[in-house]
Amino acid sequence: MHVYFVRHGESEGNVTMVHQGPDVLLSPSGIAQSRALANRFRDIPVDRILSSDLNRAKVTAQIIAEAIEKDVSYVPVFRELISPKELEGLALSDDESVRIHDLRIKNQDDPNWRYSDEENFFDATKRAEQALQMLEELSSERVIVITHSLFVFHIIARILFPKGISPKDFRQFKKHADISNAGVTLCEFSREEQTWKLLSWNNETRLE
């Protein structure tokens, strides 16, 4: 089974560089990116589209679904990581944002520590594992999953490091890689061997 993990098109929050809530809209560029991506999928025999139920992912999924004439199933497990409620709407560079960010890093190795209502590294790792298990149970051969950048990193970390990765090493992994808006990361699941493989990362050109 081939799974195309797609980051949503550019959102207004990506443009303004703020911590995003669930209802943030796609920017005009994000809509154009989603339409271009939809055209790239026209020649792929996709069986199914799954999507995060956050608005920026839903709109991206709807644009693709209309182009390739498939329905979309909205699955909360593919949402972006939940951040502390205190961050929503704050600029990434805001002093309070930086303070909370630094506190979270300071406590990143403690699975029981949270600033408020967010997911910590261990919560996100568990949810990524649940997402992969859900995909493994599908009978489809080609699946598009519209999701979010941080969650793609967690999914790929579970594939590349099945025995686990430390929060510090995960941050290094994320620092030295990138996932563009509308970028496609292709993975393959072997039902016979029950293993995942990363085939391509952040593809922005031709799909196979």
Q: Which of 53, 43, 67, 56 is nearest to 7 (CA)?
A: 56
Topology of 2-203 in CATH? Answer: Rossmann fold (3.40.50)
Would you state the structure tokens that stand for residue 76, as one six-digit string?
């909360």
Which band of pLDDT confidence, cut at 50, 70 and 90, is reported for residue 86?
Answer: very high
**pLDDT value at residue 204:** 82
Instruction: Kindly report, residue by residue over 192-203, the tens digit of the pLDDT.
Output: 999 999 999 999
Residue 150 · residue 124 · CB < 8 Å: yes
Residue 40 · residue 114 · CB < 8 Å: no
| Domain ranges (residues) in the chain | 2-203
Measure the CA–CA gap between 60 and 38, rounded to whole angstroms. Answer: 9
Contacts of 187 (CB under 8 A, 6+ apart): 2, 3, 5, 155, 156, 159, 196, 197, 198, 199
Which band of pLDDT confidence, cut at 50, 70 and 90, is reported for residue 163?
Answer: very high
**pLDDT value at residue 98:** 97
